[in-house]
């Protein structure tokens, strides 16, 4: 693999007793869309801020293409950043905002004008060049902030929860646009968010942080299909956690036993092969049937209708409450409250977790 | 009980203060205007005398010069102070704010006398300078423009700091960060992004200090010792010493008109309502 465009080694940052970053190691590949995902206080923003140069690390280093940039001020790092509140300069017009990075880089007036037009067209805001930022809507301001950050052709774009202030529909639209922009420009994106849907829909790779440490990293589907810890299983989508006993290995999967049934489960590295264990099972990977159809039997406790999907809470004597999610438009069993149903899943739909 | 008419309630609430204002302020001011055209003889005699008088012209020019210098110095010092308080002091902020406000609780008279103790011929400053051998004879800090300016700046500084501070505290730190993230040095980011946003505060503070300085009396009178005759003191002299009510009244009308013109012109650039009413 080629050299990472940015790398962070053993990054530590504390605020008093609070460990914002706890020995974080991270490589960012050229051209990728990397998302730092985590709840508030997980250290994701601190990590981004340390990469950008706004936060000084207690220890650890940041490299850009092999050069140590740990002590460089933000303006010397050549990274572009889009802030949560957009931070468009209120005393400058849209065009002046977008041209600002070029002005400080002493581009000629003609070159600036040309590049500003190009960038505004890129985000479909060409006709707003002479407006003041305050006259624009949130979504428009977001586009301008993006154009401004991209105007000086940076290699890396840092985005700090750029969509969090927008309403849901607009957010979804801008997610598509951001993704398209990333593919078109080939710029490396480092995106910070606490929104799992955003992370799943846009990223090439997601890094999940908790308490200042990386919990797991991988492609969205990897993380979703094979979470390693209970935290990841629940933070990225919903999961049922099933207590089970591991009885040994069979080829590349483990055998688990729960409520009198034995079944194969997927297991990553570091999972104990015998003894008590915890399994993660996605609600949409559970099949519902009439009593006798599937191995486990329970009673429907509650149903929640969500339009395209329907969530069913099934009570099982041993496993406890199991959440099942099924499409509303299907030909199978239609559960009703207090109905007896059976449920089961395909081999390896379950994932054994590290923290039992 | 029937509800009182809204309008009546409004006037009932306003009336006491309004009555006091009319009786003790507006009525006397109108009287002053009257005196300026009736004493000693009816007509515009006082005004022609005023415009012809060299002493009056000198006093007005002095007043505007001192007010202008005070304003500039207050803005420079005040800007640095406000910038520090709003951007750097986190733990010390309440203390620093307290120190800015402290002079408001000490009478201007006492503060001016304090400066006399400091700046006098054998005041603390001169004594210290002579004892350390830096100077052989005392420097004249008082009874000249220097003394008046030093004390005026001290008295006016909070009026410059507060509007600028309010303004600066409304500017999020992310603007400077964004500018630096886009390649601007710290100085560049300040000059291009931060400073333009603080201009409304600078204008407000400047206007406040300038207008207050124009009519200032106690400090120039005490520190100037009769040698730095700003217009307020000049008016006092006309009335108290020479019993020249007519000219004194005409001068106060002139000062009032000059101040009104300045406010009117400034009002085209500064939000006056914000400057004088909405300070937190």
Distance from CA of A153 to the nearest CA of B (A): 11
Q: Are A300 and A323 in contact (CB under 8 A)?
A: no
Pick the range with the lowest mean pLDDT from A203-217, A271-285, B9-23: A271-285
Of the residues A198, A225, A252, which one is the last residue of a structural domain? Answer: A225
Confidence of residue A251 (pLDDT cuts 50, 70, 90): confident
pLDDT beyond 90 at B92: no
Using an 8 Å CB-CB cutoff, list chain B residues near A75.
180-186, 189
Of the residues A187, A210, A225, which one is the last residue of a structural domain? Answer: A225
Asked if residue A234 and residue A221 are part of one domain, the reply reads no
DSSP state for residue A354 in the 8-state scheme: S
DSSP state for residue B192 in the 8-state scheme: I
How many C-beta atoms surround the C-beta of residue B27 within 10 A?
11
pLDDT average, residue stretch B132-160: 90
Q: Look-up: residue for tokens 């940015």?
A: A6
pLDDT score for A283: 94
pLDDT beyond 80 at A67: yes
Query: What does the alpha-carbon distance between residue A149 and residue B272 come to, in Å, rounded to a whole number?
Result: 37
Does B184 reach chain A within 8 Å, measured CB to CB? Answer: yes
pLDDT score for B280: 38
Residue of chain A nearest B172, judged by CA positions: A87
pLDDT beyond 50 at B279: no
Pick the range with the lowest mean pLDDT from A90-104, A108-122, A168-182, B257-271: B257-271
pLDDT score for A1: 55
Say how many Å lie between the first and final Cα of chain B, rounded.
Answer: 39
Using an 8 Å CB-CB cutoff, list chain B residues near A105.
183
pLDDT score for B273: 67
Do the Cβ atoms of B178 and A80 come within 8 Å?
no
Domains: count for chain A: 2
pLDDT average, residue stretch B2-19: 87
Which of A261, A235, A244, A208 minimizes the C-alpha distance to A352?
Answer: A244
Q: What is the dihedral of CA A155, A161, A162, A165, to 10 degrees?
A: 180
Q: What is the pTM of this model?
A: 0.81
Do the Cβ atoms of B172 and A87 come within 8 Å?
yes
Distance from CA of A78 to the nearest CA of B (A): 7
Residue A331: give its domain's CATH number.
2.40.50.140
For residue A321, the SS3 value is strand
Do the Cβ atoms of A87 and B185 come within 8 Å?
no
Pick the range with the lowest mean pLDDT from A105-119, A269-283, B229-243, B247-261: A269-283
Asked if residue A250 and residue A211 are part of one domain, the reply reads no
Asked if residue A191 and residue A57 are part of one domain, the reply reads yes
Q: How many CB pairs under 8 A join A and B?
A: 65
Domain-located, residue A108: yes
Asked if residue A193 and residue A52 are part of one domain, the reply reads yes
Phi, psi at A195, each rounded to 5°: -95, 115
Asked if residue A263 and residue A212 are part of one domain, the reply reads no
Confidence of residue A32 (pLDDT cuts 50, 70, 90): very high
For residue A281, the SS3 value is strand
Asked if residue A202 and residue A268 are part of one domain, the reply reads no
Pick the range with the lowest mean pLDDT from A89-93, A111-115, B118-122: B118-122
Domain-located, residue A292: yes
Asked if residue A250 and residue A111 are part of one domain, the reply reads no
DSSP state for residue B43 in the 8-state scheme: S
pLDDT beyond 70 at B278: no
Identify which of B181, B188, B192 has the shortest CB distance to residue A74. Answer: B181
Domain-located, residue A64: yes
Asked if residue A239 and residue A323 are part of one domain, the reply reads yes
pLDDT beyond 90 at A94: yes
Distance from CA of A101 to the nearest CA of B (A): 5
Domain limits for position A343: 230-352
Of the residues A204, A225, A246, which one is the last residue of a structural domain? Answer: A225
Give the Å distances, CA to CA, from A151 to A126, A137, B134, B160, B185: 14, 21, 58, 39, 18
Residue environment code for B103-129, b if the CB has 16+ CB neighbours within 10 A, otherwise e: eeeeebeebbeebbebbbeebebbeee
Domain-located, residue A63: yes
pLDDT beyond 80 at A256: yes
Of residues B22 and B123, which shows the higher confidence score? Answer: B22
pLDDT score for B1: 53
pLDDT score for B272: 67
Geometric angle at alpha carbon A148, from B79 and A207, rounded to 5°? 105
pLDDT average, residue stretch B234-256: 92
DSSP state for residue A243 in the 8-state scheme: E
Both structure tokens of B126: 């001169």
Q: Which of residues 207-246 of B touch A (CB under 8 A)?
A: none
Asked if residue A37 and residue A153 are part of one domain, the reply reads yes
Do the Cβ atoms of A83 and B197 come within 8 Å?
no
Q: Are A138 and A169 in contact (CB under 8 A)?
A: no
Does B280 reach chain A within 8 Å, measured CB to CB? Answer: no
Domain-located, residue A1: no
Query: What does the alpha-carbon distance between residue A264 and residue A6 come to, in Å, rounded to a whole number?
Result: 40
Asked if residue A308 and residue A238 are part of one domain, the reply reads yes
Does B190 reach chain A within 8 Å, measured CB to CB? Answer: no
**What superfamily in CATH does domain B51-276 come from?**
MetI-like (1.10.3720.10)
pLDDT digits (tens, 9 = 90+) for B49-67: 888 999 999 999 999 999 9
Burial status of residue A331 (CB atoms within 10 A of its CB: 0-12, 13-18, 19 or more): exposed
Asked if residue A296 and residue A153 are part of one domain, the reply reads no
Asked if residue A120 and residue A240 are part of one domain, the reply reads no
């Amino acid at each position: 693999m080629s050299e990472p465009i940015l790398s962070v080694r053993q990054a530590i940052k504390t605020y008093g007793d609070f460990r914002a970053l706890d020995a974080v190691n991270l490589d960012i590949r050229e051209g990728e869309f990397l998302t730092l995902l985590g709840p508030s206080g997980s250290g994701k923003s601190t990590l981004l801020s340390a990469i950008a140069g706004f936060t000084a690390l207690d220890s650890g280093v940041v490299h850009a293409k092999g050069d140590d940039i740990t002590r460089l001020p933000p303006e010397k790092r050549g990274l572009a950043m889009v802030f949560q509140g957009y931070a468009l300069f209120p005393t400058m017009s849209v065009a002046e905002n977008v041209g600002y990075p070029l002005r400080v880089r002493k581009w000629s007036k003609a070159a600036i004008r040309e590049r500003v037009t190009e960038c505004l067209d890129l985000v479909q805001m060409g006709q707003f060049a002479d407006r003041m930022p305050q006259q624009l809507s949130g979504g428009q301001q977001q586009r301008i902030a993006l154009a401004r950050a991209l105007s000086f052709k940076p290699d890396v774009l840092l985005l700090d929860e750029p969509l969090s202030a927008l309403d849901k529909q607009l957010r979804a639209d801008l997610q598509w646009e951001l993704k398209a922009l990333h593919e078109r420009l080939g710029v490396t994106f480092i995106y910070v968010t606490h929104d799992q849907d955003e992370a799943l829909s846009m990223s090439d790779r997601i890094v999940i942080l908790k308490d200042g440490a990386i919990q797991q990293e991988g492609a969205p589907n990897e993380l979703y299909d094979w979470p390693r810890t209970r935290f990841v299983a629940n933070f990225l989508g919903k999961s049922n956690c099933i207590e089970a006993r591991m009885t040994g290995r069979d080829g590349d999967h483990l055998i688990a036993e729960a409520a009198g049934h034995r079944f194969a489960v997927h297991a990553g590295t570091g999972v104990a092969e015998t003894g008590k264990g915890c399994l993660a099972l996605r609600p949409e990977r559970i099949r519902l049937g009439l009593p006798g159809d599937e191995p486990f039997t329970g009673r429907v406790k509650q149903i929640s209708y969500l339009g395209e999907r329907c969530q069913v809470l099934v009570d099982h004597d041993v496993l406890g409450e199991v959440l099942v999610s099924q499409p509303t438009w299907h030909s199978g069993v239609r559960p009703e409250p207090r109905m007896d149903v059976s449920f089961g899943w395909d081999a390896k739909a379950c994932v054994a977790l590290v923290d039992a | 009980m029937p509800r009182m008419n809204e309008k009546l309630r409004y006037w009932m609430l306003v009336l006491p203060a309004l009555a006091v204002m009319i009786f003790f302020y507006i009525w006397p001011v109108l009287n002053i205007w009257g005196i300026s055209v009736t004493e000693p003889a009816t007509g515009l005699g006082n005004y022609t005398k005023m415009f012809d008088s060299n002493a009056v012209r000198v006093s007005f020019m002095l007043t505007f010069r001192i007010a202008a210098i005070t304003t500039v110095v207050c803005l420079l010092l005040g800007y640095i102070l406000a910038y520090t308080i709003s951007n750097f002091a986190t733990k010390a902020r309440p203390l620093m704010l307290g120190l800015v406000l402290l002079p408001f609780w000490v009478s201007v008279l006492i503060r001016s006398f304090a400066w006399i103790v400091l700046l006098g011929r054998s005041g603390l400053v001169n004594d210290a300078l002579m004892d350390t051998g830096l100077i052989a004879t005392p420097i004249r800090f008082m009874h000249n423009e220097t003394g008046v300016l030093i004390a005026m700046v001290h008295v006016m500084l909070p009026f410059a700091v507060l509007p600028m501070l309010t303004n600066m505290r409304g500017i999020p730190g992310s603007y400077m960060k964004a500018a630096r993230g886009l390649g601007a040095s710290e100085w560049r980011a300040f000059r291009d992004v931060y400073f333009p946003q603080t201009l409304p505060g600078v204008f407000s503070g400047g206007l406040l200090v300038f207008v207050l300085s124009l009519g200032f009396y106690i400090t120039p009178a005490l520190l100037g010792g009769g040698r730095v005759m700003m217009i307020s003191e000049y008016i006092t002299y006309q009335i108290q010493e020479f019993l020249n009510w007519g000219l004194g009244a005409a001068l106060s009308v002139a000062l009032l008109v000059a101040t009104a013109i300045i406010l009117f012109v400034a009002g085209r650039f500064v939000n006056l309502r914000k400057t004088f009413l909405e300070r937190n």
